[in-house]
Copies of this chain bind each other. A is one copy, B any other.
Amino acid sequence: MKVNIIGNGITKFGELWEEDLRGLAFMAGFSAIKDANLEPKDIDALYIANMNSSSFSGQQHLGSLIASDLNLNCPGLRVEGVCASGSLAINCAFNAIKSQLYKTVLVIGVEKMTDVETAIATMALASASDEEWEGFYGVTFPCLYAMMAREHFRQYGTNREDLAKISVKNHLNAILNPNAHFHRAISTNDVLRAPLVSSPLGLLDCSPISDGAAAIILSSKFKGKVELVTSEIATDKIALHDREELTSIKATRIAGTSAYKTAGIKPKDIDIAEVHDCFSIAELIAYEDLGFVTTKQTKKYISDGYFSREGELPINTSGGLKGCGHPVGATGVKQANEIVLQLLGKAGTRQLNRPLRYGLTHNVGGSGGTSVINIFKKNK
């Protein structure tokens, strides 16, 4: 049985002062239902991805709330795995369809983050770490990824310039995406001269705090030109100090290996990918963990533009978390949207001008405690 992607919806990402949580979720969900040319009665279940509407908006129970607003008469529930919530919800929908429990499932990822001040948002985001042994000691997420960057620099000779090129690429890609948070080209020098957040990571190595929502409809009943071939989750120790290594995210390696195996493909078969660049170092490590490069090749591949729009394997054509924005619960669903639009040839001005068959999304929870890999395929 095939799990087809039959509809997509997305809102603008950014500081959306005039939009609220439920409005964003509604807009994305409504757009997806319209895009799929369905009626509410065609939806068998609703999975909502959201990290922290409790702290950001004082609202939980989004399954019932959003089902109410969209006039759906179907089961609705929320799935949470912090920053990986979006892909986790897609994973749950995929499995529910594979099990023949439901035929058509709507997944909405949403996060409204800007209604609280930045300090509160940073604390709320720290709840994705091991609070007792990391967050409560003041270790915020930039710090966790900074430690990973430092160790990567030490072991493999990578440096701030390598990281900067990743942010530069993602900002450049975002310019072509009308829904992206930022539409501004930045230079390597801009990144290197930006204020340090947690050395060696500067402000432009970090994804922003954004509002936004994205939706996708999966179905075994209705036909689509793109299918979700496989969806794999893996979990690792939540605390950085409990991990086997700092320079690789084991959960990504496990989920990735498993996903390639199930899909019957190799990393080189992937034509396009959206990877989790919450920090520039996260994207660099993803290249290696997903088998796109060996640690020896990383510097050269980045330098050669291998992952740019014109390169061999375009990564984060949406602008990634850095350029497109990172409304946490929405991110994994937005990644899926971008891959599907590109495979369908419907990505507008940012459409890649080449044949595409396989696309991958890589979505990480916290500093790597959770990783989800979804592989999409365009049917011939």
**A interface residues with partner B (beta carbon < 8 Å):** 20, 22, 46, 51-55, 57-61, 63-65, 67-68, 72-82, 88, 92, 95-96, 98-101, 123-124, 126-132, 135-136, 233-239, 242, 365-366, 369-370
Minimum C-beta distance from A9 to chain B (A): 20
Known: A75-B233, A80-B80, A235-B76. A129 touches B61 (CB 8 A): yes
Question: Which of A61, A67, A130, A238 has the largest count of B CB atoms less than 10 A from its CB?
Answer: A61
Known: A127-B54, A235-B74. A79 touches B79 (CB 8 A): yes
- Which B residues are in CB contact (< 8 Å) with A101? 95, 98-99
A61–B141 CA distance with the chains assembled, in angstroms: 14
Partner of A78, one of B57, B79, B234: B79
Cβ A61 vs Cβ B128 within 8 A:
yes
- Which B residues are in CB contact (< 8 Å) with A64? 81, 235-238, 365-366, 369-370
- Which B residues are in CB contact (< 8 Å) with A98? 99, 101
Cβ B81 vs Cβ A235 within 8 A:
no
- Given A61-B369, A65-B369, A99-B101, output 6 extra A-B contacts at Cβ < 8 Å: A46-B235, A58-B123, A63-B369, A64-B366, A68-B236, A78-B81
Known: A61-B129, A101-B98. A77 touches B88 (CB 8 A): yes
Cβ B77 vs Cβ A80 within 8 A:
yes
- 26 A-B pairs within 8 Å (CB atoms) are namely A20-B132, A22-B132, A57-B131, A60-B82, A60-B128, A61-B81, A61-B82, A61-B129, A61-B365, A63-B370, A64-B237, A64-B370, A65-B130, A65-B238, A67-B235, A67-B238, A68-B238, A68-B369, A72-B235, A73-B235, A75-B234, A76-B370, A77-B81, A77-B92, A78-B79, A99-B101
- Which B residues are in CB contact (< 8 Å) with A130? 65, 68
Cβ A131 vs Cβ B96 within 8 A:
no
- Which B residues are in CB contact (< 8 Å) with A238? 61, 64-65, 67-68
